[in-house]
Amino acid sequence: MDANQVQLLQWGDLAALAPELTLVIAAIVISLIDLFLPRRVNRNVIGWLSLGSVLASLGFVLWQIVQRAKLPLEASQAVQLLNHSYRIDDFALLIKIVLLVGTGFVLLLSLGSLRDDEEEIPHRGEYYYFLLPAAVGGMIMASSGDLITLYVGLELLSITSYILVGMKKNDRKATEGAFKYVVLGSVASAFVLYGMSFVYGMTGTTNLGGIAAGLRDYGASFEALVYVSFILMFVGFGFKIAAAPFHAWAPDVYQGAATPVTAFLAVVSKAAGFAILFRIFYNLYFALGEGFIIFIDLSTLILGVAAASMIIGTTMALRQANAKRLLALSGIANAGYLLVPIGINIIGVNTLHSSSFSEFYYYLFAYMFTNIGAFAVLMVVERSSGHDEMRGYAGLYHRSPWLAAAMTVFVLSLAGIPITAGFFGKLFIILGAVSTHAVWIAIVIMVTSVISFYFYFGFIRQMYMRAGTDEQVRIAVPHGIVIGVCVLAVIALGAFPNLFLTIVNTAFSIPVDLFVR
């Protein structure tokens, strides 16, 4: 490499990397504290330190967004680091908010549930600070401007997730789920790497901007390889987001893992996968333009996988009696909903659908609060009943009316009932699909949403219409905080959807924040 091309990090660059560096330094320091801390000392102190580092990192992200908002439009370009392999833009910062808020909620849930469960997870200190490098991996994926950087973030997130799933060493289901996750996850990573190798072979570069320019110039000569590279990477990322038909691992892994880890996989890991789908596909393939037939074909393929995810996730959940597996199957259907804004990029004149990111981000934000809240209620019910079956919710309204009311809010949002956050999220996606003439996928969304009422309302049927035991439901303070915040967020997003969209559209611009130049 030419010495003139080597870019060293300056102090200003380190300030731009403050969110990531905060978590990296915290993970190292907290691991040393855990190493020298006497065994008799409660490991919850490690959890609180990890939560504090996540909040500090979130503070840096919010500060960067505010600073960028103060800049004039011509000066609000992305900050490019390490020869354009890492970029700080509003797209990455908005995704990092979801990743960090989700990780913070998971840590709070863990502090409320692992207090008395030393037999369940023997190494609780490691469990807490392992969530930090996992979050860093997702943040690297969101900010990647290069295939190598992207793959490093992907593997950092994946490997730590494998370990977190297998933390319950004495649980056979956890061990089985971790084994399946490692094997299938490794195969998925191989697909991604293989697809990247085709892209590099066609363009001679790993930088996303250079690849986009190379595909525009020479893509017509390698049209078959362009298809192959897209399909290989899409298969790999489809596994990471648990989209059908790459979803088979999700129910077993979700059921076997500790419930906070399940929430992490359902929200944080999924959000990171969608972030990189947006970044790669918009930069490399959709930017090819109307001169390439692949421009239309790839959108059709994405929408086809989205439809399959909605249909398979919804139909498989109809006869599910286990609450954790039901939420896993719900996550598969929601992966389909989140794929739609990525696929509906074509209007009549083959131009990009300009509001696709705001529609996607609104639904992702609503999904985060709804899903984390539902898992928080599940943890409370699971500790009360001793199992994670649907029958554990029987008579919950009589035992804990406020908890039943909170779960009702989450269920209504997942089902898409007016006027919840989930309803407006699906509505915006449907309107986006109709505006791009993809009416068929809008019909699939509506039909699967109606069918999903059956199993979502199973929670309501159990809570309000079934007789339960007289067991007292005890809600730990961290669980109560998470549930309360999530309920308020779901209601607020449903009450003021346009305000949220206005803020996102003001901060985000496809040419500035998504395309790598």
Would you place residue 350 in the very low, low, confident or very high pLDDT band (cuts 50, 70, 90)? very low
Rounded-to-integer distance, Cα 175 and Cα 386, Å: 20
| Domain-located, residue 457 | yes
* 8-state DSSP, 207: B
Strands (E), 5-147: 79-81, 86-88
Report cis status (omega within 30 of 0) of the bond before 419: yes
At 462-510, the pLDDT tens digits run 898 887 676 778 888 889 999 999 999 999 999 999 999 888 888 887 7
Would you place residue 12 in the very low, low, confident or very high pLDDT band (cuts 50, 70, 90)? low
Rounded-to-integer distance, Cα 95 and Cα 89, Å: 10
What mean pLDDT is predicted for residues 281-293? 67
What mean pLDDT is predicted for residues 329-341? 92
53, two tokens: 């580092």
**What are the residues whose beta carbons fall under 8 Å from the beta carbon of 442, sequence distance 6 or more?**
430, 433, 434
Rounded-to-integer distance, Cα 254 and Cα 395, Å: 25
| Domain-located, residue 116 | no
Per DSSP, the three-state class of 322 is strand
| Domain-located, residue 400 | yes
Among candidate residues 371, 211, 346, 204, the one with its CA nearest the CA of residue 289: 346
Rounded-to-integer distance, Cα 232 and Cα 195, Å: 5
What mean pLDDT is predicted for residues 191-200? 92
Structural contact between residues 115 and 121, judged by C-beta atoms closer than 8 angstroms = no
* 8-state DSSP, 356: H
Residues linked to residue 207 through DSSP beta bridges, in sequence order: 146
| Domain-located, residue 508 | yes
Rounded-to-integer distance, Cα 343 and Cα 210, Å: 23
Would you place residue 49 in the very low, low, confident or very high pLDDT band (cuts 50, 70, 90)? very high
Rounded-to-integer distance, Cα 278 and Cα 359, Å: 13
DSSP letters, 365-427, are: HHHHHHHHHHHHHHHHHHHHHSS-BGGGGTTHHHH-HHHHHHHHHHHHHHHT-TTSHHHHHHH
Structurally, the chain folds into a number of domains equal to 1
- Which range (131-140, 275-284, 420-429) has the least confidence? 275-284
What mean pLDDT is predicted for residues 237-241? 91
- At 304 the pLDDT is 93
**What are the residues whose beta carbons fall under 8 Å from the beta carbon of 319, sequence distance 6 or more?**
none
At 393-445, the pLDDT tens digits run 888 888 888 999 999 999 999 998 988 899 999 999 998 888 888 889 999 99
- pLDDT, greater one: 34 or 54: 54
252, two tokens: 């077993």
| Domain-located, residue 493 | yes
- pLDDT, greater one: 337 or 166: 337
The segment with the largest mean pLDDT, out of 4-8, 169-173, 204-208, is 204-208
| Domain-located, residue 411 | yes
At 74-121, the pLDDT tens digits run 556 778 887 778 888 889 999 999 999 999 999 999 887 765 445 456
At 136-185, the pLDDT tens digits run 999 999 999 899 999 999 999 999 999 999 888 777 888 888 889 999 99
- At 45 the pLDDT is 86
Would you place residue 2 in the very low, low, confident or very high pLDDT band (cuts 50, 70, 90)? very low
| Domain-located, residue 23 | no
Q: Which amino acid is at 259?
A: T
Kindly report the pTM of this predicted structure. Answer: 0.91
Instruction: State the residue range of the domain holding 431.
Output: 293-512
- At 62 the pLDDT is 93
Residue for token digits 């369940």? 120
- The DSSP element (H or E) to which 284 belongs, if any, is none
Would you place residue 122 in the very low, low, confident or very high pLDDT band (cuts 50, 70, 90)? low
Angle separating helix axes 323-343 and 249-256, nearest 10 degrees:
130
Residue for token digits 């505006």? 435
**Mean pLDDT for the chain overall:** 85
Q: What dihedral angle (degrees, nearest 10) is formed by the CA atoms of 37, 42, 47, 53? A: -40
Would you place residue 294 in the very low, low, confident or very high pLDDT band (cuts 50, 70, 90)? low
Angle separating helix axes 356-385 and 477-495, nearest 10 degrees:
150
